[in-house]
Structure 1
Amino acid sequence: MKATIWHNPKCGTSRKTLAILEEAPDVDVTVIEYLKNPPTAARLEQLYKDAGISPQQGLRLRGTDAEERGLPDADDATVLAAMAAEPALIERPLVETDKGARLCRPQDKVHEIL
């Protein structure tokens, strides 16, 4: 099985999720450091759709100015554009496999798509 993790190596939850993926048998992991290689708004939209969550649910509030900017109450297109422009606004880690996508907070959510 192929798995892609949108990863921040400074995040403990992201590191723990990556460890689960690396220890899982028969999983070929692709790691994308999204702060260096941010996804497009369209890619984020698809990931959130596949995960069954809204862009607002994928918005990182802690350590960002998202609330001051009104992003939790903004429309999807505005949130996605902000995330694509400033990837620090993306909550992590996002993981995608053939079985779907998940925002893996807590990290054990990754088991749902393995």
Structure 2
Amino acid sequence: MDVTIYHNPACGTSRNTLALIRHAGIEPNVIEYLKAPPTRETLVRMIADAGLTVREAIRKKGTPYAELGLDDEALGDDQLLDAMLEHPILINRPFVVTPLGTRLSRPSEVVLDILPADAFKGAFTKEDGEPVLDEKGARIG
């Protein structure tokens, strides 16, 4: 299965999402988006395919969001996208693209919605100890 993750290795949610994809036996195309940001066209497509608005796809915490005045509701999508492309840290993470869909995987287990359900053969626990899959590979919760 062709899977791409827009990944930030410093982010626990992104690391957990990548680990879940690999737990499914899939080696994804890993794009460290802070080093290699998506094109505007790709970013717009991912946001739309994930069913989000541009504003919903912006990361606020730990970014220059407030300093750049991006909380101004008068700003349109084009202005927000310009800021995201100029400062990729503003792109919320991790976006995952598979043939089954595109998701902003927050929380990380959201990625399970776009991976083959039968791919999981055992338990999976997040870095913080939270169980996500039981011993049979079934989703918990």
Instruction: Give the alignment's TM-score, normalised by structure 2.
Output: 0.76
Name the structure where helix makes up a greater proportion of residues: 1
Match in the other structure for 2:101: 100
Counterpart CA distance in 2 for 1:40 and 1:81 is 11
Q: How far apart are the structure 2 equivalents of 1:21 and 1:43?
A: 21
Alignment of 1:1-114 (within 5 A): 1-25=1-25, 27-72=26-71, 73=73, 74-114=75-115
Q: Distance in 2 between matches of 1:76 and 1:42?
A: 13
Question: Could you give the per-residue CA deviations for residues 55-101 of structure 1, whole angstroms, max 9, x where no partner exists?
Answer: 11110100112134232422111111111111011111000001111
Contact in 2 for aligned 1:4/1:97 (Cα 8 Å)? yes
Q: Which has the higher contact order (CA 8 A, sep 6+)?
A: 1
1:103 Cα deviation after fit: 0.5
The residue matched to 1:53 in structure 2 has which SS?
coil
My pick for the range that moved more, 64-73 or 53-62, is 64-73
Q: Among the aligned pairs, what percent are the same residue?
A: 47
The letter of the residue matching 1:11 is: C
Which structure is larger by alpha-carbon Rg, 1 or 2?
Answer: 2
Query: Distance between the aligned counterparts of 2:2 and 2:27, measured in 1?
Result: 5
Runs of 4+ in 1 over 6 A off after TM superposition: none
What residue identity is the alignment partner of 2:106?
A: R
C-alpha distance in structure 1 between counterparts of 2:58 and 2:110, whole Å = 17
- Find the aligned partners of 1:28 and 1:37 in 2 and give their Cα distance: 19
How far, CA to CA, are the matches of 2:106 and 2:39 in structure 1?
22
Q: TM-score by structure 1 length?
A: 0.93
- Residue 102 of structure 1: SS of its match in structure 2? strand
